[in-house]
Amino acid sequence: MTEPEENVGILESNSFSMSRLDELDGNLHDLVARREALGPCYRLFYQHPLHLVRGRGTRLFDADGTEYLDMYNNIPSMGHSNPYVTRAVTEQLGLINTHTRYVHENILDYADALLARLPQEIDRIMFMCSGSEANDLAVRCAQLYTGGEGIIVTAEAYHGNTALISGLSPSIGRDVPMSRTMRMIPTPDTFRLGTEEIGEWMCARVSEQIADMRRHGIKFAGVLFDDIFSSDGVIPGTPGFLAPVVELVHKEGGLYLADEVQPGFCRTGAGFWGFERHGITPDIVTMGKPMANGIACSAMAIRHEVLDAFAAKNPYFNTFAGNPVAMAAAKAVLAYIDEFGMLEHTRVMGEKLLGAVGEVAKAHPALGDVRGSGLFMGVDIVEPGTTEPDRALAVRLIEQLRENRVLISLCGPYGSVLKVRPPLVFDDADLDFFVGALEKSLVELGK
Restricting to residues 102-131, which ones interact with a copy of itself according to CB under 8 A? 102-105, 107-108, 111-112, 115, 123-131
Cβ atoms within 10 Å of 136's Cβ, excluding its own: 23
Closer of 321 and 333 to a copy of itself (Cβ)? 321
Type and span of the H or E element at 127: strand 124-128
Q: Which of 2, 12, 395, 440 binds a copy of itself (CB under 8 A)?
A: 12
Rg (CA), the chain: 21
Site string for a copy of itself, 352-381 (x = CB under 8 A): ------------------------------
Closer of 96 and 204 to a copy of itself (Cβ)? 96
Written as one letter, the residue type at 308 is D
From residue 350, how far is each of 166, 234, 238, 300 by CA, in Å?
A: 32, 14, 16, 27
CB of 148 to a copy of itself, least distance (A): 15
Residue 251 binding a copy of itself, by CB under 8 A:
no
* DSSP letter (8 states) at residue 382: B
Residue 64 binding a copy of itself, by CB under 8 A:
no
Stretch that binds a copy of itself, among 53-61, 191-199, 270-278, 339-347 (CB under 8 A): 53-61
Region of 255 on the Ramachandran plot (φ > 0 left; ψ -120 to 50 alpha; else beta): beta
Measure the CA angle with vertex 7, ends 230 and 410; round to 5°: 40
Quick check: 426 and 417 in contact, CB under 8 A? no
Stretch that binds a copy of itself, among 49-57, 149-157, 226-234, 422-430 (CB under 8 A): 49-57
Residue 148 binding a copy of itself, by CB under 8 A:
no
Closer of 248 and 257 to a copy of itself (Cβ)? 257
Quick check: 361 and 370 in contact, CB under 8 A? yes
Spatial distance between the Cα atoms of 441 and 381, rounded to a whole number of angstroms = 13
Spatial distance between the Cα atoms of 134 and 56, rounded to a whole number of angstroms = 29
Q: Which of 2, 81, 207, 238 binds a copy of itself (CB under 8 A)?
A: 81
* DSSP letter (8 states) at residue 274: G
Closer of 141 and 357 to a copy of itself (Cβ)? 141
Quick check: 184 and 209 in contact, CB under 8 A? yes
From residue 335, how far is each of 78, 195, 292 by CA, in Å?
A: 11, 38, 11
Closer of 161 and 387 to a copy of itself (Cβ)? 161
Residue 75 binding a copy of itself, by CB under 8 A:
yes
Residues between 187 and 226 with contacts to a copy of itself, criterion CB under 8 A:
none
From residue 113, how far is each of 96, 129, 423 by CA, in Å?
A: 21, 19, 22
Residue 28 binding a copy of itself, by CB under 8 A:
yes
Quick check: 235 and 261 in contact, CB under 8 A? no
Written as one letter, the residue type at 151 is I
Q: Which of 18, 45, 196, 388 binds a copy of itself (CB under 8 A)?
A: 45
Q: Which of 166, 187, 190, 416 binds a copy of itself (CB under 8 A)?
A: 166
- Alpha helices per DSSP H over 364-415: 391-403
Stretch that binds a copy of itself, among 165-173, 182-190, 359-367, 393-401 (CB under 8 A): 165-173
CB of 180 to a copy of itself, least distance (A): 14
Taking each helix axis from N to C end, the angle separating 324-339 and 342-363, rounded to the nearest 10 degrees, works out to: 70
Secondary structure (3-state) at 326: helix
CB of 278 to a copy of itself, least distance (A): 25
Measured over the CA atoms of residue 229, residue 232, residue 236 and residue 239, the dihedral's sign is negative
Residue 22 binding a copy of itself, by CB under 8 A:
no
Stretch that binds a copy of itself, among 134-142, 215-223, 251-259, 429-437 (CB under 8 A): 134-142
- Contacts with a copy of itself by CB under 8 A: the residue count is 103
Q: Which of 152, 155, 164, 332 binds a copy of itself (CB under 8 A)?
A: 164
Site string for a copy of itself, 338-357 (x = CB under 8 A): --------------------
Closer of 49 and 415 to a copy of itself (Cβ)? 49
Residue 97 binding a copy of itself, by CB under 8 A:
yes
CA 117 to chain centre: 20
Closer of 198 and 328 to a copy of itself (Cβ)? 328
CB of 104 to a copy of itself, least distance (A): 7
Quick check: 439 and 367 in contact, CB under 8 A? no
Spatial distance between the Cα atoms of 286 and 347, rounded to a whole number of angstroms = 22
Stretch that binds a copy of itself, among 181-189, 265-273, 322-330, 428-436 (CB under 8 A): 322-330
CB of 426 to a copy of itself, least distance (A): 17
Cβ atoms within 10 Å of 359's Cβ, excluding its own: 13
CA 172 to chain centre: 14
Residue 175 binding a copy of itself, by CB under 8 A:
yes
Residues between 260 and 319 with contacts to a copy of itself, criterion CB under 8 A:
288-289, 294-296, 302, 304, 307-308, 310-319
